[in-house]
């Protein structure tokens, strides 16, 4: 089963870019890399996903290493509202269950 | 669209009581799932469904039952509540397994 490794926490300043790393060295060639975030007292929120090439949407960018063993979620200009726990997730949980596997994620702290 | 609606938002149960957590979505999503989140932890998958009439177990299914009689609804039943089931429960749905939409959660306390 694919597993991911993320730093427990990161801190950044408001209006600066934030790079959130994720290691997924065991990911298979057809697994998409997904990112979700969870704001305080809310349910998780889909952020972005990708397979091989870099991806952009209105929330963030996803840079995927050429060997696909790691990826970086990029918030181009962090705001206080981006303070959340960010989860890098392989597509399916262990045992073939059709759901998401959440680790502890990275707690992103934004300083004003 | 209402998205994913969970009811109730808060519930206190006594040990041994049973109850049903409701989850409904109006996006015609085939894939639905239930998670629990304990303090300081990530979410863990309880049960999931890939369409009406089809359900299966996730990582932590013991003590919970589900059914999926319609595409819209995916209720989670606690058979005999235990303090270990005190948690926040999230329901999620997706059209294609890529971008799941989550509900706002049900905070359950079992005393």
DSSP letter at B83 equals G
How far A45 CA lies from chain B's nearest CA (Å)?
Answer: 7
**How confident is the model at residue A1, as a pLDDT?**
57
Beta carbons of B104 and A44 less than 8 Å apart: no
A94 φ/ψ angles, rounded to the nearest 5 degrees:
-60, 150
Tell me which residue in B33, B42, B101 faces A99 most closely, judged by beta carbons: B33
Res. A17: pLDDT tops 80: yes
Distance between CA atoms of residues B77 and B46, nearest Å: 11
The mean pLDDT value for B58-80 works out to 96
- Give the start-end residues of each E strand in B14-85: 19-25, 31-37, 43-51, 54-57, 64-66, 76-78
Band of pLDDT at residue A3, cut at 50, 70 and 90: confident
The reply to whether residue B56 touches residue A103, judged by beta carbons under 8 angstroms, is no
* Joined tokens for residue B58: 């996730």
> What local confidence, expressed as pLDDT, does residue A94 receive?
43
- In this prediction, residue A95 carries a pLDDT of 45
pLDDT at position B55 is 95
Residues of B in contact with A101 (CB under 8 A): 45
pLDDT attached to residue A92: 57
* pLDDT single digits (tens) B51-67: 999 999 998 999 999 99
* Preferred mutation among A6, A45, A88, A98 to probe B, highest tally of B CBs within 10 A: A98
- Does any CB of chain A come closer than 8 Å to the CB of residue B89? no
pLDDT given for residue B5 in this prediction:
97
Smallest Cα–Cα separation from A21: which of A39, A7, A34? A7
Give the span between the Cα atoms of B63 and B54, in whole angstroms: 19
Q: How far is B4 from chain A (nearest CA, A)?
A: 11
Q: Which two tokens stand for residue A111?
A: 């300083």
pLDDT for the residue A24: 84
Q: Encode burial over A6-21: b for 16+ CB neighbours within 10 A, e otherwise.
A: beeebebeeeeebebe
Give residue-wise pLDDT tens across range B6-33. Answer: 999 999 999 999 999 999 999 999 999 9
Q: What is the pLDDT of residue B40?
A: 81
CA distance B94 to chain A (A): 10
User: Is B86 exposed, middle or buried (CB count within 10 Å of its CB: 0-12, 13-18, 19+)?
Assistant: middle
Give the confidence band of B100 by pLDDT, cuts at 50, 70, 90.
very high
Q: Which residue has the higher pLDDT, B85 or A103?
A: B85
Q: What is the DSSP string of A41-103?
A: TS--EEEEEESSS-EE-SS-EEEE-TTSSEEEEEESS--GGG-EEEEEE-SS-GGG-SS----
Average pLDDT over chain B reads 95
Residues A84/A64, Cβ–Cβ less than 8 Å: no
Q: What is the mean pLDDT of chain A?
A: 88
């Amino acid at each position: 089963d694919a597993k991911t490794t993320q730093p427990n926490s990161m801190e950044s300043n408001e209006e600066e870019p934030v790079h959130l790393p994720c290691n997924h060295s065991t990911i298979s060639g057809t697994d998409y890399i997904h990112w979700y975030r969870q704001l305080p007292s809310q349910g998780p929120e889909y952020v972005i996903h990708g397979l091989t090439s870099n991806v952009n949407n209105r929330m963030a960018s996803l840079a995927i290493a050429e060997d696909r063993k790691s990826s970086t979620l990029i918030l181009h200009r962090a705001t206080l509202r981006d303070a959340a726990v960010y989860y890098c997730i392989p597509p399916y949980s262990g045992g073939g269950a059709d759901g998401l596997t959440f680790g502890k994620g990275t707690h992103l702290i934004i300083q004003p | 669209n209402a998205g994913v609606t969970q009811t109730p938002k808060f519930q206190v149960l006594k040990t041994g009581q049973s109850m049903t957590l409701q989850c409904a979505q109006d996006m015609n999503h085939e894939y639905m799932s239930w998670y629990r989140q304990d303090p300081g932890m990530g979410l863990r998958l309880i049960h999931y469904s890939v369409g009406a009439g089809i359900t299966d177990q996730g990582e932590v299914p013991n003590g919970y039952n589900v059914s999926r009689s319609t595409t819209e609804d995916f209720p989670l039943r606690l058979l005999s509540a235990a303090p270990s089931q005190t948690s926040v429960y999230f329901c999620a749905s997706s059209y294609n397994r890529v971008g799941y939409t989550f509900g706002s959660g049900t905070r359950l306390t079992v005393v």
